[in-house]
Amino acid sequence: MPRGWEPKHTYHNASLPPVRLVSQEVLFTHNDNISVDSTLSHLLVDWGQWIDHDLVLTPQSPSTAAFKSGADCTHTCNRDSPCFPIQIPPSDPRNGVQSCMPFFRSAPSCGAGVLPHRQREQLNAITSFVDASMVYGSSTSLASALRNQSSPLGSMAINSQHSDHELAYMPFLPRLQAHLDPCGPRNSTTSGTSDRSAHRQNTTSCFQAGDSRANEHLGLIALHTLFLREHNRLVKELHLLNLHWSPDTLYQEARKIIGAIHQILTWEHYLPRVLGENAMSHLMPPYKGYDPDLDPSIANVFATAAFRFAHVTVQPVVTRLGPGYNANSQYPSLLLHHSLFASWRVVQEGGIDPVLRGLLLSPAKLQTPGQMMVEELTERLFQAQGGMPLDLGALNLQRGRDHGLPGYSSWRKFCGLSVPNNTLDLAEILGNFTLAHKFQLLYGTPHNIDVWVGAISEPALPGGRVGPLLSCLLARQFRALRDGDRFWWEREGVFTRAQRKHLRSVSLSRIICDNSHVTHVPADPFSRTETSEDMLACSDPLIPHLDISPWKEQDSDPRCGPIPRIQFGYYLLCNSVILYQCHSGYKLLGASSISCDPNSQQWSPAPPSCQDIDECEEMTSCPQHLECLNIPGSFVCSEPSSLSAVSIVTAVIVVFGGVVVLVMGMFCFRRYLPKREALVTAGCCQEKS
């Protein structure tokens, strides 16, 4: 059972206070009573959530009804698993309006709690590694669904209804329930003028991405969009460098680079600012190589408490700025709760550029003992989506209890830190007697303090934004994620030495320049920039490009000579082994790989060939009244005897990869282009160079 499941049950001779009471007494901060961080930008805050969504997703119980009574968890205040409602205390301003907030327990792993002495454990539904899974998905099926399968470049799918002044958006999610659109405008007063009906029949205005939380707020949407575009930019550059690479090779190599970029930006740029340089060097020593004995999965305390520290650094207002970093009436700044699940604002109100400019110029909120969590998060969370607003602070505390996390003192002991036994001990650790006394009144003992609220209350270490306990818990997790990753970017053999050298120069500001209309950026986007005059032009040498020339593949082997090429096929050179793959519509005959024989210094065995697949014999799907004719790499369906050798002048049905397309007028096969004369004379095609 969760800690606090029975309200009268005692821990260290004291019962646990209601989480909503802790939120009201310790966390609540008026929107207009905040201080700003003098050194960090709000982009650092959003990057933390971005990386969190790369690491962990704890699924809730799939059931939304009480197991015993069958009551709907959203409408009952009784504790009956999976319902674990958050009680509203008598002193709460919400008392009389609502008796509790709905809360669902996290889904347990299979068999948890069944065997003797086995504790209930929760799940991670995504890959724990920093591998940009929020861009590409954590499963083969989702990764495939996010790709543009018809692209010869290995591109990601993009939105077919809208673009951001010629730059791509993510595709929309299919509309599974016609009445449900959590990302659409709530009413006409906030939606502005639009013609959304054109695209909302079969899709929602929620974007589809590698992570299901992509639409939570505008900052996340901007980062998702940014890296979708960066992938598609990279595959184009890689294609120009290696024309013989297949779409899948281009996709995988770009994905590998994007994953490395996330590792570099997180460990080299993000973590030092969170932990502080001294704690970083002490707790995160230089990389020594892959350690197969390290467990790189996500610790429960990290997912449920430690990496939620940045919730107290969130500004109450989402700043959006026009060109020149000026306020713009077309897309004004918003209270945070109006930006949640509001992807339509991106499409209709200026794209991601205003959001990016706001993140770059706005400072993070400074966390102090009297300024913890803004009321946008404690009093108005998801208010704009209808229903009773939630409280993020209370949700965090309740989730920690749901997962059975031990109290604050246990984790101090775990990290080798001093353990507070009374108010004076706690006051010395927190550097604040008033806050320590408040905790004593609420919890009765420092041992019972929920680890999340205790950890965020510690004063930050020099140069960082977290205290000793969070530094310990965060560094332990990120070190395991680095040293326990077989594909860590610095590991020998993952990238070449030249590639690693160039990757070290990656810049988030450069990625923003290359994939948006933002023309001026800070040299360091995680540091606070005081004024727009301090921004640098994207052409400035301090905003370096990633030079991908080290990714150019050699066209010969030092011992066996030139790479044998095959018609209608791709190849990939890998350590003196050549891997072959045929174009779509062709099948490989012979060995799929050949290698350089060091003795004979010859390629062996003989290279394969690519043979056209006769779809008319193997998989024809033409309507009965049409005739199937095989063509190089595909087939067409047409009236009998209406096909010429290269061009088709009449209307035909063309089938590519199972997709049926009606083509009117002249049609040229995929390896041919219409000649200029084709504009006036039918059926004239020339082969592509």
Q: Mapped to the 3 state alphabet, what secondary structure does 388-422 carry?
A: CCECHHHHHHHHHHHCCCCCHHHHHHHCCCCCCCC
Determine the 3-state secondary structure of 602 from DSSP. strand
Residue whose structure tokens are 């108005």: 380
Identify the CA nearest to 240 among candidates 549, 516, 499, 567.
Answer: 549
Residue type, 659: V
pLDDT in tens, 285-299: 999 999 999 999 999
668 pLDDT more than 50: no
203 pLDDT more than 90: no
DSSP of 192-212, one letter per residue? -S--GGGTTTTEEEEEP-SST
Strand partners, 610: 588
Identify the CA nearest to 207 among candidates 170, 164, 161.
Answer: 170
Mean pLDDT of 659-671: 42
Q: How far is CA 160 from CA 114, 157, 167, 198, 212, in A?
A: 49, 9, 12, 12, 20
For residues 355 and 364, is the Cβ–Cβ distance under 8 A?
no
Measured in residues, the chain has a length of: 689
The DSSP bridge pattern shows strands 172-174 and 203-207 to be antiparallel
Mean pLDDT of 473-484: 98
Q: What pLDDT is recorded for position 386?
A: 66
Residue 655 tokens, joined = 């089938």
217 pLDDT more than 60: yes
Extract long-range pairs of 490-499: CB within 8 Å, 24+ residues apart. Answer: 490/287, 491/289, 491/290, 492/289, 495/260, 496/550, 498/550, 499/550, 499/551
113 pLDDT more than 80: no
pLDDT in tens, 154-172: 999 999 999 999 999 999 9
The CATH code belonging to domain 31-59+106-112+121-153+180-240+249-372+467-550 is 1.10.640.10
Q: What are the boundaries of each domain within the chain?
A: 31-59+106-112+121-153+180-240+249-372+467-550, 553-612, 616-687
Identify the CA nearest to 333 among candidates 354, 351, 353.
Answer: 354
Q: What pLDDT is recorded for position 382?
A: 84
Which positions ≥6 away from 287 have C-beta within 8 Å? 482, 483, 488, 490
Residue 323 tokens, joined = 């060109």
Q: How far is CA 374 from CA 28, 380, 516, in A?
A: 6, 10, 30
Q: What are residue 358's phi and psi, to 5 degrees?
A: -65, -40
Instruction: Provide the CATH topology of domain 553-612.
Output: Complement Module; domain 1 (2.10.70)
Residue type, 260: A
Identify the CA nearest to 343 among candidates 512, 133, 173.
Answer: 173
pLDDT in tens, 495-538: 999 999 999 999 999 999 999 999 999 999 999 999 999 999 99
CA 598 to chain centroid, in Å, comes to 45
| CA atoms of 324 and 520, how far apart (whole Å) | 8
Percent of the chain past pLDDT 90, that is, above it, reads 77
Buried b (16+ CB within 10 A) or exposed e, 212-232: bebbbbbbbbbbbbbbbbbbb
Which positions ≥6 away from 522 have C-beta within 8 Å? 41, 360, 509, 529, 534, 535, 536
Beta strands in 68-158 (DSSP E): 86-87, 100-101
| CA atoms of 88 and 91, how far apart (whole Å) | 8
Identify the CA nearest to 619 among candidates 645, 656, 648, 591.
Answer: 656
Strand partners, 163: 168
Which positions ≥6 away from 355 have C-beta within 8 Å? 218, 219, 221, 222, 318, 320, 346
667 pLDDT more than 50: no
For residues 291 and 487, is the Cβ–Cβ distance under 8 A?
no
320: alpha, beta or left? (left if phi > 0; alpha if psi -120 to 50):
beta
Exposure on the CB side of residue 687, measured as CA atoms within 13 A: 3
617 pLDDT more than 80: yes
| CA atoms of 8 and 15, how far apart (whole Å) | 6
Percent of the chain past pLDDT 70, that is, above it, reads 87
For residues 248 and 580, is the Cβ–Cβ distance under 8 A?
no
DSSP 475: H
Q: What pLDDT is recorded for position 638?
A: 85
| CA atoms of 260 and 266, how far apart (whole Å) | 10
677 pLDDT more than 50: no
Strand partners, 397: none
Q: How far is CA 498 from CA 52, 547, 550, 584, 635, in A?
A: 30, 10, 6, 33, 44
Active site residues: 53
| CA angle 352–353–355, rounded 5-degree value | 65
| CA atoms of 278 and 461, how far apart (whole Å) | 9
| CA atoms of 626 and 7, how far apart (whole Å) | 74
| CA atoms of 58 and 190, how far apart (whole Å) | 32
Neighbours of 688 (CB within 10 A): 10
Q: What pLDDT is recorded for position 285?
A: 95
For residues 150 and 138, is the Cβ–Cβ distance under 8 A?
no
For residue 97, what pLDDT band results from cuts at 50, 70 and 90?
A: confident
Q: What pLDDT is recorded for position 294?
A: 96
DSSP of 336-356, one letter per residue? GGGSTT-THHHHHTTTTHHHH
For residue 264, what pLDDT band results from cuts at 50, 70 and 90?
A: very high
Mean pLDDT lowest among 38-42, 410-414, 452-456, 620-624: 620-624
Which positions ≥6 away from 317 have C-beta within 8 Å? 31, 333, 334, 335, 336
191 pLDDT more than 80: no
DSSP 95: T
Mean pLDDT lowest among 36-50, 303-317, 627-641: 627-641
Residue type, 262: H
Longest dimension (CA), the chain: 95
For residues 525 and 544, is the Cβ–Cβ distance under 8 A?
no
Mean pLDDT lowest among 480-484, 658-662, 677-681: 677-681
* Helix ranges, 559-638 (H): 615-618
Taking only Cα atoms into account, the Rg of the chain, rounded to an integer number of angstroms, comes to: 29
pLDDT in tens, 376-387: 999 989 876 667
